[in-house]
Chain A
Amino acid sequence: MLKAMIKRALNINEEKVLINKTLQCLDKDATNKSRGNLAEDDALDWLKPRTLIRPDDQEEVPEADLEEEVGRILTTINPTWVADEVAYHYGKGKFMVKPKPMYGKAYPLYIHQGTAIRKDSDEAKAQIAAGYGMVSFDDAGPKRVKVKKTKTEEEEEEEPEQEPAPVEEVKDDEQVQEEEKAAEAAEKPAEEKPAEPTEEEPKAEEEAVADEETQEPEEKEAQQEDMGMEEYLDIKPRVKKLANQFNFCERAALTYNYPRRSVETQTIPPPRANFGATALQCIIFDYYQEDYARKMKEKEDEKPKRLKKKKAKHVKSEQQIHDERLAQRIREAWAILERLVNQNIYDDIAQDYRYWDDPSDEFREGMGSLLPLWKFQFDPMRSHAVCDVQWNPHYQDLFAVAYGSLDFTLQQKVGCLCLYSIKNPAYPEYAVITESPVICLDVYKEIPYLICVGLYDGNVCVYNAQLSLESSYQYKSNSVRDKHSNIVWEIRWGPRLIDGEPSFFSISGDGRVVQWAVMPGELQATTIITLTSSVPPIPGPDGTMLTVNSCGSCICFHPEKTEIFMVGTEDGMIHTCSLKYNRNYVRSIQGHHMPVYRIHYNNYNNSIYASCSGDWRVKIWEDGRDEPLFMFELGSPVGDVKWAPYSSTVFAACTADGKVYVYDLNVDKYRPICVQAVVSKKTKKLSRVDFNLKLPVIVCGDTKGTCHVLKLSPNLRVMCKPPKKAQGIDQRTLQIMKLDKLLSLVRDPPFQTGVVDEKFEDD
């Protein structure tokens, strides 16, 4: 713009010389300026050293010209505005003053003209000819065009008014002039042809003028010229770029590009397989059927798993039951057969048992005899002793035998519990081997197949004879916790407990009486009484005093008062005890001088009891008396004494010398009415005896494992004849009366008991 302005002024004056001059000035000034800059920027030595690059074709201008100051006045009046321009108004038919051009409220502050020109246009050719062909067309061309255009515009519009300005302007701004000159030189050929004035530019100029004072356009123009100069300067460096602070350096770096490489791999193809089938209705149907059946089966299998298990068990046991039943039936058949055979073999004995009564009894006043019938032996138990024998309370032909050992120096390892029936003397009905010799047994009256046994090792067991032979005990005392610490000498069923459980009592050599409650699955032990002895405590090895228990040897319950029982000890004492007192005895008498083997209450009179002992004696006692009513000496240890169930005055005793004594106090108060040697006294001893409750037989066991069944001769089982006065009295009353009568005889004459001997033959 600056160049354009200068040019314009120059053009107006048509002074070429001046133009040249100004151009030279401009050029020179440029150098000065750069120098000055350099001087000024001494502090900026670190900056890149600047070299002044000047166009090749720059004219030389004298120094004075260059330093000449060119003034420049800026006014606010738009120089292009014609104040009193008139135009013909056709409506009014007269000339009218044109109104000041208005642009509304929008004032263009900056208008930029495009700079592109056609390559083959005249201008472009001119420029190329002027040496700008080296520069890329786009950069060089347009600026030239613009310069030219503005110049031409301004030439046209400002020519009239701006005449005085040029000189001033040139003077004001030498640089401008110089530049102008430089530009002029290049553009001279183009100057000649005036370009067509564009519409926009003049308008803008005019508007600006209208608004502002005359000074303003000049400023504007100056600005424009500055820009033009810059543009021009910008063009030049295209040939060689001028370095100044407005030039930006663009730098670029190329990063390293990794080389490419290709890698190939091949995967394993997914495995394949072949499958073939044929779908036919029949095949589908069949498969469905098959599956359905399978499902049904599974349902059956899974549904009642528990039931099924149970069922399986049940089935199994059914098989077993079947087998067992079969075995049982066969066994029964064999048993019957065995019995048949045995009855044939022992036919004479059976006949004797049934029908033979010793005819000699009629001639022997009061005396009787025992007829040996069967002998019962169990082969495995030949060397064992019969430690206890008892008739079954329910089955009159059945008796239980306990096989143990009384030879304490040569104890047997095992024992046996057998049930014999007199119908089959050859073999026991029931036999079970026990872990320890059986010393005592008792058959439960309420449940006659329950048998409790006391063992040599202190244990007690309950056997159920109904169970199969293979099964062993049903209950057994705990060997660790509560068994006896000595031989269980006698065992007796007691009354049921409050809760209904059966219970039994055992007495042992350790001095305890223990009640055993038969709980489901176990035996519960309760110590009823501990038998104290009169022996003072013995000093123990470490200073403690050991109390000595007296050893119990037998126990007997009162038939009616269930809490009262009597205990015989090995030191011969007979203690009457009660379940309610576990410390003290109700009564205590010195019954014997040797172990009391058995005590038995009379079946008809509850206050009368008999006791037998190793001191060869059998004593008849009455409750409350310290002295026995009767005393019999049998000449040998008496193993057992039993009152007869059919008579109140008859009792039997067996002795170690193999004899059975039967007494009838009503017949003879001092002598037995029958003494029968059952076994040879050299080899065997009789241990126990028992009356059959119904039949006129007794059973006694010996120490060689044999049980002897003996028939009582008629004289031994004499029943009371009711007196003529009272015919209707039953036998029991008569028996009681008989005993009472006898007792009164014994009691009333205060003769010395205990000195009974054969002197008193007559009552």
Chain B
Amino acid sequence: MGDETAAPGAAPEKVIHTYPLIRHSDMSEEMRVEAVELTVTACEKYSQNNELAARMVKEAMDKKFGPSFHVVVGESYGFEVTYECTNICYMYFGGNQAICIWKCS
């Protein structure tokens, strides 16, 4: 019985999700796509350094959509932020990273 329950449990574990998954976003479509792309690029480029990834995303977003963006990249954190409406994107990436991008100037 125990084996049986373990076996089906193991099967879905094998599926590793690496795609970006938006958890919460009120950005415009264009901006969201851009943000997701940037995040993917940054997180893949600096897979070992979240700070650099966050910096890269932040700077690119600042350039494209004006200051001041804030970016958090991490695996485990909690946050409560104030953002300018239509300027937040909270997403997961790579199965274990949570990225929060918001704008508040």
Task: Look across to chain B and name the residue whose beta carbon is closest to the beta carbon of A278.
Answer: B78
Residues of B within 8 A of A287 (CB): 21, 23, 92
Task: Look across to chain A and name the residue whose beta carbon is closest to the beta carbon of B75.
Answer: A281
Residue A131 is within 8 A (CB to CB) of chain B in the complex: no
Q: Give, as a whole number of angstroms, the nearest-CB distance from B80 to chain A.
A: 3
Provide the B59-97 mask, 1 if CB < 8 A to any CB of A, else 0. Answer: 000000000000000111111111111001010100111
> In whole angstroms, what is the CA distance A275 to B26 when docked?
11
Residue A280 is within 8 A (CB to CB) of chain B in the complex: yes
> In whole angstroms, what is the CA distance A284 to B80 when docked?
17
Task: Look across to chain A and name the residue whose beta carbon is closest to the beta carbon of B76.
Answer: A280
Interface pair B96/A281, CB less than 8 Å apart: yes
Residue A306 is within 8 A (CB to CB) of chain B in the complex: no
**A279-B98, A281-B76 as given contacts; A292 in contact with B15, CB under 8 Å:** yes
Task: Look across to chain B and name the residue whose beta carbon is closest to the beta carbon of A271.
Answer: B85
Interface bin, chain B: 20 to 34
Q: Give, as a whole number of angstroms, the nearest-CB distance from B62 to chain A.
A: 16
Residue B100 is within 8 A (CB to CB) of chain A in the complex: yes
Residues of B within 8 A of A288 (CB): 17, 21, 92, 95
Interface pair A291/B79, CB less than 8 Å apart: no
> In whole angstroms, what is the CA distance A284 to B91 when docked?
9
Residues of A within 8 A of B98 (CB): 279, 284
Interface pair A278/B77, CB less than 8 Å apart: yes
In A282-300, the 8 Å CB interface with B consists of 284-285, 287-289, 291-292
Provide the B4-27 mask, 1 if CB < 8 A to any CB of A, else 0. Answer: 000000001001010001011000
> In whole angstroms, what is the CA distance A273 to B86 when docked?
9
Interface pair A279/B17, CB less than 8 Å apart: no
Q: Give, as a whole number of angstroms, the nearest-CB distance from B57 to chain A.
A: 15
Interface bin, chain A: 10 to 19
Q: Give, as a whole number of angstroms, the nearest-CB distance from A454 to chain B.
A: 67
Task: Look across to chain A and name the residue whose beta carbon is closest to the beta carbon of B17.
Answer: A288
Interface pair A292/B17, CB less than 8 Å apart: yes
- Specify which of A272, A276, A284 is in contact with B78 (CB 8 Å cutoff): A276
Q: Give, as a whole number of angstroms, the nearest-CB distance from B104 to chain A.
A: 7
Residues of B within 8 A of A292 (CB): 15, 17
Task: Look across to chain A and name the residue whose beta carbon is closest to the beta carbon of B84.
Answer: A270
Q: Give, as a whole number of angstroms, the nearest-CB distance from A728 to chain B.
A: 79
In A258-281, the 8 Å CB interface with B consists of 270-281
**A284-B96, A284-B98, A292-B17 as given contacts; A275 in contact with B88, CB under 8 Å:** yes
**A275-B102, A277-B100, A287-B92 as given contacts; A270 in contact with B12, CB under 8 Å:** no
Q: Give, as a whole number of angstroms, the nearest-CB distance from B15 to chain A.
A: 7
Q: Give, as a whole number of angstroms, the nearest-CB distance from B89 to chain A.
A: 10
Interface pair A274/B82, CB less than 8 Å apart: yes
- Specify which of B23, B76, B81, B85 is in contact with A276 (CB 8 Å cutoff): B81
> In whole angstroms, what is the CA distance A284 to B97 when docked?
8
Residues of B within 8 A of A273 (CB): 82-83, 85, 88
A-B pairs under 8 A by CB, number:
69
Interface pair B12/A289, CB less than 8 Å apart: yes
**A270-B85, A272-B83, A284-B96 as given contacts; A279 in contact with B78, CB under 8 Å:** yes
Interface pair A279/B85, CB less than 8 Å apart: no
Provide the A207-238 mask, 1 if CB < 8 A to any CB of B, else 0. Answer: 00000000000000000000000000000000
Interface pair B80/A272, CB less than 8 Å apart: no
- Specify which of A270, A275, A280, A285 is in contact with B24 (CB 8 Å cutoff): A275
Interface pair A272/B96, CB less than 8 Å apart: no
Question: Which of A271, A280, A288, A289 has most chain B Cβ within 10 Å?
Answer: A288
Interface pair A279/B80, CB less than 8 Å apart: no
Interface pair A276/B79, CB less than 8 Å apart: yes
**A284-B95, A285-B95, A287-B92 as given contacts; A277 in contact with B84, CB under 8 Å:** no
Residues of B within 8 A of A272 (CB): 82-85, 104
- Specify which of B79, B82, B92, B102 is in contact with A284 (CB 8 Å cutoff): B92
Interface pair A276/B21, CB less than 8 Å apart: no
Residues of A within 8 A of B24 (CB): 275, 277
Q: Give, as a whole number of angstroms, the nearest-CB distance from A194 to chain B.
A: 79
Q: Give, as a whole number of angstroms, the nearest-CB distance from A283 to chain B.
A: 8
Residues of A within 8 A of B97 (CB): 284
- Specify which of B12, B75, B79, B85 is in contact with A277 (CB 8 Å cutoff): B79
Task: Look across to chain B and name the residue whose beta carbon is closest to the beta carbon of A269.
Answer: B84
Residues of A within 8 A of B75 (CB): 279, 281
> In whole angstroms, what is the CA distance A284 to B17 when docked?
10
Interface pair A275/B23, CB less than 8 Å apart: no
> In whole angstroms, what is the CA distance A271 to B82 when docked?
10
Q: Give, as a whole number of angstroms, the nearest-CB distance from A587 to chain B.
A: 87
> In whole angstroms, what is the CA distance A527 to B12 when docked?
73
Residues of B within 8 A of A279 (CB): 74-79, 92, 98, 100
> In whole angstroms, what is the CA distance A635 to B85 when docked?
105
> In whole angstroms, what is the CA distance A725 to B95 when docked?
104
Q: Give, as a whole number of angstroms, the nearest-CB distance from A274 to chain B.
A: 5
Interface pair B21/A291, CB less than 8 Å apart: yes
Question: Which of A278, A279, A280, A291 has most chain B Cβ within 10 Å?
Answer: A279
Residues of B within 8 A of A270 (CB): 84-85
Q: Give, as a whole number of angstroms, the nearest-CB distance from B36 to chain A.
A: 14
Residues of A within 8 A of B76 (CB): 279-281
Task: Look across to chain A and name the residue whose beta carbon is closest to the beta carbon of B92.
Answer: A284
> In whole angstroms, what is the CA distance A281 to B23 when docked?
14
Question: Which of A271, A272, A274, A287 has most chain B Cβ within 10 Å?
Answer: A272
Q: Give, as a whole number of angstroms, the nearest-CB distance from A617 to chain B.
A: 89
> In whole angstroms, what is the CA distance A274 to B96 when docked?
24
Q: Give, as a whole number of angstroms, the nearest-CB distance from A585 to chain B.
A: 83
> In whole angstroms, what is the CA distance A279 to B23 when docked?
10
Provide the A714-737 mask, 1 if CB < 8 A to any CB of B, else 0. Answer: 000000000000000000000000
**A287-B23, A288-B21 as given contacts; A277 in contact with B92, CB under 8 Å:** no
Q: Give, as a whole number of angstroms, the nearest-CB distance from A747 to chain B.
A: 94
21 cross-chain CB contacts under 8 A: A271-B84, A271-B85, A272-B104, A273-B82, A274-B82, A274-B83, A275-B80, A275-B81, A275-B88, A277-B23, A277-B79, A278-B77, A278-B78, A279-B76, A279-B77, A281-B76, A281-B96, A287-B21, A288-B17, A288-B92, A291-B21
CB-CB nearest 6 A-B residue pairs: A279-B98, A276-B80, A278-B78, A288-B17, A271-B85, A270-B84
**B residues whose Cβ falls under 8 Å from a Cβ of A:** 12, 15, 17, 21, 23-24, 74-85, 88, 90, 92, 95-98, 100, 102, 104
6 extra A-B contacts, CB within 8 A, seeds A272-B83, A288-B17, A292-B17: A272-B82, A273-B88, A275-B102, A277-B100, A279-B77, A284-B98
**A residues whose Cβ falls under 8 Å from a Cβ of B:** 270-281, 284-285, 287-289, 291-292
